Amino acid sequence: MKKFFVLAVLFLLPILAYLFFASGVNNFAKLPVLTNDVANISQFKAAGDSAVTFQDKISIVAFFGTEPDDLKGNTFNLDSKILNKFYEFADFQFVIILPEEARSEAEKFVEDFSGITNASYWRFVYSTPQEVRKVFESFETDIELDENLQTPYVFIIDKDQNLRGRTDDEDKGMLYGYDSRSVSELNNKMNDDVKVILAEYRRALKTNNSRKMEK
């Protein structure tokens, strides 16, 4: 019995240690800040009455440009693999930035998607091409908008208007944005990173609530 007990302890201890440290990484990890204080969009025109802002929201940000139909397949990937999992979080939003000239195309785009997703959660904002480019450039990434002010990459902006991403991605090193053309990248990277930042804010909220109760 003693021998069995010793062998069991020797076998289980490494597994328990691994589980402990693995859970510690998951529980205390933070998604790196890549760019501080990106330009806000509160002055952009929004579809609807309320203004749209990055402040106090976790935002998935996309630049659809003048030809949003070109990204229809990408948007389906993004909606099914990422957005549908997180729409119910009160502070989570999907922001689509376009030049004013694309408004009618965007409205048609939403109509086309209304039968397969809840596009009412999407926040469209419009401004001049110069202002759209200004916001994009404030992200300070290694990604470029094309001549239509469009990119297939989407970005995570936190509640303090900081761009979040990865500093040590196994494929790219610095990962500023997530390629919506790639189901694998959305599933294996962006999904994990959105979970990390949501967990980060949940921990902060619990800590603040505990401190208030102590007072």
pLDDT tens for each residue of 51-99 = 899 999 999 999 999 999 999 999 999 999 999 999 888 899 999 999 9
Domain membership flag for residue 57: yes
Domain membership flag for residue 172: yes
C-alpha 184, offset from chain centre: 16
User: C-alpha distances in angstroms, 52 versus 9, 92, 128, 137, 181?
Assistant: 56, 12, 16, 19, 26
> What's the pLDDT tens digit per position in 90-139?
899 999 999 999 999 998 988 888 878 888 889 999 999 999 999 999 99
Domain membership flag for residue 10: no
How many CB atoms are closer than 10 A to CB 45? 13
Between 19-28, 162-171, 188-197, the lowest mean confidence (pLDDT) is in 19-28
pLDDT for the residue 23: 39
How many CB atoms are closer than 10 A to CB 107? 12
pLDDT for the residue 203: 84
What letter represents residue 170's amino acid? E
Q: What phi-psi label fits residue 209: left (phi over 0), alpha (psi between -120 and 50 degrees) or beta?
A: alpha
Is the pLDDT score of 19 beyond 90?
no
Measured at the CA of 52, the angle between CA 48 and CA 56, to 5 degrees, comes to 145
How many CB atoms are closer than 10 A to CB 173? 10
Bridge partners for 123 per DSSP: 95
Domain membership flag for residue 20: no
DSSP 8-class letter at 100: G
Is the pLDDT score of 185 beyond 90?
yes
pLDDT for the residue 207: 59
Report strand pairing: 92-99 vs 58-63. parallel
Domain membership flag for residue 75: yes
Q: Are 52 and 95 in contact (CB under 8 A)?
A: yes
Domain membership flag for residue 121: yes
CATH number at 136 reads: 3.40.30.10
Q: Give residue 56's domain range.
A: 31-214
Q: For the chain, how many structural domains are there in total? A: 1
pTM reported for the whole predicted model = 0.82
Using CA of residue 109, residue 74, residue 84, residue 62, what is the dihedral sign?
negative
Q: What phi-psi label fits residue 13: left (phi over 0), alpha (psi between -120 and 50 degrees) or beta?
A: alpha
Q: How many residues does the chain have?
A: 215
The stretch 188-196 carries a mean pLDDT of: 95
Is the pLDDT score of 16 beyond 80?
no
Q: Are 95 and 39 in contact (CB under 8 A)?
A: no
Domain membership flag for residue 3: no
Domain membership flag for residue 7: no
How many CB atoms are closer than 10 A to CB 3? 7
User: C-alpha distances in angstroms, 115 versus 71, 119, 120, 121, 159?
Assistant: 17, 9, 11, 14, 31
